[in-house]
Amino acid sequence: METGIYSDLAISAPEILLPARDADLSKWPVIACDQYTSEPAYWEETERLTADVPSAFHIILPEVYLETLSKDLLDGKIDSINRTMNEYLSNGTLMSLPKGFILTDRATSLHPSRKGLVLSVDLEEYDFTPGNKKKIRATEGTVLSRIPPRVRIRRNAPLEVPHIMLLIDDPDFLVIDPALKSLKASGTPPIYDIDLMQNGGHLLGYYTEAGSDIAEGIVGALSRLLEESRDGLLFAVGDGNHSLATAKAHWEKLREGLSPEECFAHPARYALVEVVNIHDEGLGFEPIHRVAFGLSPEEFYAAAGHSFADQGFMFMPEDDWYGMKPATAANAQIINVISGQDRYVAVLNHPAHTLAVGSLQNMLDHLLEERRDIRIDYIHGEDSVIALSSSGNTGFLLPVIPKESFFRTVMTEGVFPRKTFSMGEAFEKRYYMEAKRITSEDSL
C-alpha cells in the first residue's frame, strides 16, 4: 500500500507545503475566499497588506470578484494565480514537509481555542448527493451552477490551498486533543505560531510525521469513530462544500485518462482539509434566521395552516403561549415569529421534518411559488431579525441545532436545508495556511 494512504478511512497523510522559514508569515495566510463577498473594502485592504510579498492572497480568487469582473479580466486573474503558484514552487517560497499531519489551535476574540487536524481526504469517498452512504458527505444542498466557475480556476492550477473544514463526531475527544496535547508536552516546537491579519486571531500549528506514534494514534482513533458510526459516515462537511465539490468534479474529469494504478496515488484524488471535532467548545454553531419581506403574520398563519394541516399546527401570541404553558408532543418544533411589536409562537406538534428550519423552509418555498411579491432573506443574529421585522414583514427566529443531533440529522435527512447554520463569525473562518500539490512534480 502507498505510504501515508489509509484507504479504509478515506484519508491520506499528505506532503504539506508551507512558506519557507524566512518568509513573513504574518502576510501569508488570508481568510477563506467566500467571505466578505459584499465588502470589497476588506479584500482591498488585504491586497494592500500583501502587496509585493509572498502571500496566499496571490494564489486564490476572492469570490467578491466572480460577479464583478468580465470574462477577460477573470481569465487574466486565473492566469496570474497559476503563474504565481508555479513561481512559489520553483523559487523556494513554498517548501514541502514529509508526509504527515498538522495539528492546529486557533484563537479568536470569541473563542480562545479551536483545535483542528490538517490531512487529505479521498474524493472517491465524498458525495454531495442526498442520501448517499459515503464516508464523506455534504451537509447542505450543492448548487451545481456554482461548480463550473470554480473548476475553471482549478483546471490548470498546480496547487490547492484549502478553506474546507470537515467535522467529526467525537464526543470523547479521542482524535485531535490527545495528539495536540502530546505534541505540546513533548517540547516539539510549533511549525507556525502567528497572528492573523484583519483581526483573525492567532494560529498555532504542530507537525507530526506519518508513522509516528502520534500519527498512528490519530489513525487509530479515527478507525474507532468509523466503527461506531451508524451508517459509515465519518466526515461531514462544515465549511467549503462547493470547494470540495469542485475538487471532486476536477478529479472525475482528470481520472478519465489514468490507469487504475495512476488513479490510486494521484495527488488530485486527495483534497487537503482541516478536520474539527463538532464538540469542540471553540466551534460556534449559530442558527440562520429568516425574514419574509411583504408577508404579514396573518398571511403566514393562513399559508402555514394549509401547509401544516396534518402536523399539529398551532399559532398564537407569545404571551398566550407562555401563559398557558400547554403540553406539547416530545418532538414538537417551536418557532418564534416577529412582526413589528407583535410576537407570536408557531408550533408543530407532529412535524414532518426532523428540524424546525426544514419545516419552515419547505413551507416558505411553497409560498414563494404562489407569491412572487414576497422576498426571503437569511439573517445572522436575533437583533438583526428584530430590526428588519417591521410592520408588514415577518421574522422567524429558529432554534439552535444541537451538536449532538447534527450527524444523526445528516444520516436521516441526507442534507440540511439551505442556510441552516453558520460555524462561527466571518472572521473565525479558516485562513489559507497550508498548500498541497494536485499535479505531479514533473508536470510543472
pLDDT in tens, 207-255: 999 999 999 999 999 999 999 999 999 999 999 888 999 999 999 999 9
CA-closest candidate to residue 178, choices 210, 216, 209, 204? 216
47-62 pLDDT, tens digit each: 999 999 999 999 999 9
pLDDT at 74 over 90: no
| Percentage of the residues of the chain whose pLDDT score is greater than 70 | 97
pTM of structure: 0.87
* Residue predicted with more confidence, 25 or 285: 25
pLDDT above 80 (res 324): no
Task: Kindly tell me the number of DSSP H helices and DSSP E strands found in the chain.
Answer: 12, 24
Which range among 1-10, 203-212, 314-323 has the greatest average pLDDT? 203-212
Rounded CA-CA distance 272/154 in Å is 14
| Polymer length of the chain | 444
Residue range 71-97: mean pLDDT, rounded: 94
Confidence of residue 1 (pLDDT cuts 50, 70, 90): very low
Instruction: Write the CA distances from 120 to 10, 227, 444, integer angstroms.
Output: 9, 20, 21
pLDDT at residue 431 above 90? yes
d(CA 282, CA 428): 10
Indicate if the pLDDT at residue 344 is higher than 60.
yes
Lowest mean pLDDT among 141-145, 157-161, 200-204, 428-432: 141-145
- Helix 147-154 to helix 71-90 angle, to the nearest 10 degrees? 40
